[in-house]
Amino acid sequence: MRRSHGSVHLVVTALIVAACGPKDQGAAKPDSSATPSAAATPNSVVVHAKDFGFDAPNEIAAGMTTFRLVNDGSTFHHMQILRLDSGKSVADLQQAFKKPGPPPHWMVMVGGPAAPDPKGEANATVDLKAGNYALVCFVNVPGGVPHVAKGMIHPLTVTAATAASAPSPKTDLVVTLADYSFTLSTPLTAGTHTFEVRNTGPQPHEFQIIQIAAGKTSKDVMDQIAKEMNPKVTKLAATQPGRAVGGVAGIMPGTPAYFTADLPAGDYLLICFIPDGKDGKPHFAHGMMQTVKVT
């Protein structure tokens, strides 16, 4: 599941049809004597990832939005949501990807679902403002080539909201990302949790969760990723030492994102693959990987 996010060019070697768009706004408004309606819920968008593309809407309304990523592919995919400021377009972004160096200032990471296993699902909830966006997969296994280089990029226009945005999801656990660590507000326990992911920066970070298979270690997971980065490798091994659960793709400092995951008891690897802004090494090489036990 290694990938190259932050350098946004295709030569980086360091290292994701919507079922529905905005929430239904067609229901009749209750009269003044009716019981007040429940609080608004986030818009819901389903995106299917394949080898190599996204089946996704071209336009959605602004506001708090939950994206459900369904991985129909044979390898890992995530869905990095990039906001394109300064009037830039996906064509501008594709040109920027071809140039070595740091990402342009107008490319802003706002989260999205981190990678699930092939045939699996992941989700993330983010607050989108009106503007131009791109959905991108930077995963580069198997073979070491980022999937965006194979056409895995999709333009998304976010239009002005026509109704009040939903509040942030209710969460039971906060994950704080920093250079270069993860801090959990409480120990992880088995069951379903809704996470708030905060980045205290100063660099962009992601939060990927991998469940380590019984009898395996985090080293086994990382060794397998390294093997599948080999340009001669064309498909994933049938048996993997870990299961990609999901999480939140790259977010900028001060930009919260949310996701829900069901965690069975066991050992897990928390990891950030984003390349460092100073030396280009993946953040896990700076210590941003942590093994935790879910009880």
Confidence at residue 1, expressed as pLDDT on a 0 to 100 scale: 57
Say if residue 202 is preceded by a cis peptide, omega within 30 of 0: yes
Q: Are 11 and 100 in contact (CB under 8 A)?
A: yes
Q: What distance lies between CA 170 and its chain's CA centroid?
A: 19
Question: Nearest Cα to 248, choosing from 140, 173, 157?
Answer: 173
d(CA 266, CA 277): 33
Query: CA nearest 109: which of 136, 81, 135, 134?
Result: 81
Q: Kindly give the parts of the chain with pLDDT less than 50.
A: 4-37
Burial class (CB in 10 A: 0-12, 13-18, 19+), 24: exposed
* Alpha carbon separation from 53 to 77, 78, 106, 183, 220 (Å, rounded): 10, 11, 23, 33, 29
For residue 23, the model assigns a pLDDT of 39
pLDDT of the residue at 102: 84
- Give the tens place of pLDDT for each residue, 233-267: 999 999 999 999 999 999 999 999 999 999 999 99
Token pair of 19 as six digits: 């079922």
**Whole-number pLDDT of residue 66:** 98
> Quick check: helix, strand or coil at residue 223?
helix
Dump strand ranges (E) for 185-226: 191-199, 205-212
For the chain, the residue count is: 295
284 φψ region: left (φ > 0), alpha (ψ -120 to 50), beta (else): alpha
In angstroms, rounded to a whole number, what is the distance separating the alpha carbons of residues 102 and 104?
Answer: 6
Which amino acid is located at 233 in the chain?
V
Give pLDDT, residue 20: 33
Q: Tell me how far the alpha carbon of residue 47 is from its chain's centroid.
A: 12
